[in-house]
Structure 1
Amino acid sequence: MTDCDKEESLHLQMEFEWVLHKEVHAVLGQLHLILLECARRFPVPLFGNDNPQKTDKFVLSSPPDLKCIVTLTGDSITSADINFRIQRQQHVLHRTCIQSENPWKLQQIQDAGNHLQQAIRHIENIDKEYMFKSSDEVLHFLGNILSCLQRGRTSLIVPRKKTIDDLMKSRNMKTLTPALPEDLAVSFYIQSHKLMFALYQLTNVHGTMKFDHHSIECSVPWLNEVLVLFTVGLQLCQQLKDKCNNMDPLCLDLDADDFYQFFIYFGITCSGFQLFLSVTLTIDQTANDRSVCFPSTKTLLSRKSLQPQFLVEDIHRDHVEMFY
C-alpha cells in the first residue's frame, strides 16, 4: 500500500469512526426531539404529552344527500349526527347518531401513536455515552426505528380494508342509534390528513349482491402536522442509515506501531460565533516530517473552514492524550 493509499484509508477510517461515535448520537438526539414534537401533536396522551384529550368538531357534507356533524375526542368519535338519502328512496331522509357514552373508536390513531411511542423508546433505551461498535449494530438499531415510523405513518395513510360483512358486524356499527337497516352500513376512518365518512348500500341484482358507495371528507389540521413530522423523522433516520451503510470499516494494511492518534480541540469561527470542534488526528511516526492526517473534507466542517488558534506543528506528543 502506497503512502497516498495509507493516508486516504486513514482519512476514511477516521471519518467512519466519527460518524459511528459522534454523528449517530447527534442525529438520534435530533430525531428524538422531532418524535416528541410529533407525540405532542397527537390528541391522546403519549410521550411528553400529558394534556387532556383534544376535542374537535367537523362538518362533512355533500348536499343534498349526505351530511354528518362529528365531534372527535382523542382517538374516538364521541358524537355524530348523520343524515342521508339513498338512491332508491330519495324522498326518505335517514338519520342516525353516535352518543358520547358509546363512541366510535378510530383504531388507526391509536395504532399510529403506539408505533410512535415504540420508536421513541428505542432511542431512549440507548445511553448517550454508549459507543456503537460497528456499522451493522447501527444499521440494525436504525432499522428498528424506521420500521416503527413506517408502520405509524402507514396506519394513518392506508386504512385497513374490510369486507361489507365485516363492517356490518363490527363493534362500531353497534354504536349507532337508531340502528340502520340491514342493507346499509357506514364507516368512519382516517386517510392521510382527512377524516372520511363512507355510506354503503347493498343491492341484490339478479341474485348477485352489489353495493353502492358514497363518501365525504374533511381535513383534520393536527393529522397533517403529525404526518409531516413522521415524514421528517423517516427522512432523517434513512439518511443516517444510508450514510452508515456506505461507510463500512476499512481493513487497513498498517503497522499499528507506526501510527498514533489523539483528540485536539480547534477553536473555529463560524458565522461570527466562536465554536470548538474535537478532531481526531493521526501522526505517521515513520515519516520524516511527522505529517498530520486530517479527517476527510466530507465531514460536517471542511478543512478549509477551520481556523486553528494554534499551529499543528506546535503540538508535541507530551501535550496530548494518546490512545491505540
Structure 2
Amino acid sequence: MAPSGIPPNLQKLLKEPKFSSRSQKSGEYDDGTKKLRRMILTDGIPLDADPSLRPRIWKILLRINEVSADTYLDYVARGPCHVREKIRNDTFRTLATDRGFKERVREDMLVRLLDAFVWKNHVDQQQRDRLGFTYVQGMNVLAAPFLYTMPSELEAFYCFSKFIEECCPLYVQPTLDGVHRGLKLLDKCLKIVDPELFDYLRKKKLSAEIYAFPSVLTLCACTPPLNEVLRLWDFLLAFGVHLNVLCVIAQLLLMRDDVMKEPSPMKRLRVFPELDAINVIGVTVTLVRDLPEDLYAELVKHPYAP
C-alpha cells in the first residue's frame, strides 16, 4: 500500500496523463483536474447534492472552454447531411428500452446533432488536412450519453465532437479500425490476466470479435442501466477510453463462474448482465497492474494513434 493509503495501481492511474486525447500526449493536469480525477476514482461524483455536477465535470475533463450557438445553428441550417438515411436507420433504436432516455432525448435531437457533426467535419476537412469523419455504426449510441447528460443540445454537440475527434477518432473511421484493434487487445489482455478463461473461450471458438464487439464499439453504453453507464463514463473520461477494453474484461470476470460452467458460453455472452459500474471500475483498476508495460502502452494508444 502506498503511503497515501491508495494502492499502487491507483497511484499509477492518478499520475499518468490522459493519453487518450491526441492533443495531450505529455504534460500534467492542473491541480484542480487532478483532484477531480481522484474524486472520480475513489468516491465517484456525488450527484445527489447537485445534478449539474456531472455535466460541468465532463466539460472540464474534455476541456470544453466555449461553445458557439451561431456555429451550431449554421450546421443545423444546412439540413440533412449526405448520410441522413443511414443516421435515421439507427437513431430510432438508440437505447430503445430505456424509458428515462426516451423521455429526455427525442430522436430529432439525436438526428440533428449527428447531422451537424457530419457537416462540421465536412467543413473542417475542406479547411485543413486532418483525419476525416462521417457517420458510422455505433456513433448514435456514443452521442446518447452526452444528449442525456448535458443541459442543452448545444453543449452535447460540442462535448460529443471533442470526444470523438480527440479521445477515440479511430473508433469511428469507416473501417472501425480502433474498435478492431481494441478487440484484438482484449484477447491479448485476457490471455494474461485469466489464461484459463481465455483458453476455455478459445476452445469454444469464441474470440472478442464475436462476443465483445458491441461493448467495445459503444464503450459499454449498450449495456443497461444508463445511470451505471454514466458512472462508468465518468471514469473513462477522466482516465481514457482505452480502459474500456479492461472494463469489458472486468465484466467477463464478474460473470466468470457462470461462463465457465456453461457448455455453450455464447448464451451467457450474447447479453451481458446489467452493468455495475463500481465493481467494474474496481476490477479494471486492479487489472492495470497486471499488464506488461508494452502491452499497456499499446492499449493506451489504440483509440487514437494510427
TM-score calculated relative to the size of structure 1: 0.19
Q: Which has the larger radius of gyration?
A: 1
Higher relative contact order (CA 8 A, sep 6+): 2
TM-score calculated relative to the size of structure 2: 0.20
| Higher strand content, 1 or 2 | 1
